[in-house]
Amino acid sequence: IFDIRRYQDSLLRFAEKAHQRGVQIVLFTDQWLSPIARFARHVIAGRTAVPSAWDSSAALFVVAETLIGAVTRQLEAEGAKRIREMESLR
């Protein structure tokens, strides 16, 4: 789950329900930590404050893409199969 400042109540409700069902949540959030952190198995926090009018989530996307690449390589054929299955749901 991605949740950065100006956190979304709907995501919090989703995370709470998922947690109650035993889902292990990986949260990508900002340095202030989304309220979802209390339900997350893993919290990856990154700096989003930049010298502009808007926060930037670019650093979090780089970390997420790096993590996805590493997990995909680790899972090899099984990972590729799962990705194909997920894409078939579109």
pLDDT of residue 26: 96
pLDDT of residue 57: 92
CA distance 14 to 25: 11
pLDDT of residue 34: 98
- Size of the chain in residues: 90
CA distance 85 to 7: 31
**Per-residue pLDDT tens for 58-73?**
999 999 999 989 988 9
DSSP3 helix / strand / coil % (the chain, rounded to 5):
55, 15, 35
CA distance 29 to 32: 8
Q: Where are the beta strands (DSSP E) in the chain?
A: 2-3, 26-30, 42-46
For the domain 2-88, what is the CATH code?
A: 3.40.50.10490
What residue ranges of the chain have pLDDT lower than 50? none
pTM flag (> 0.85): no
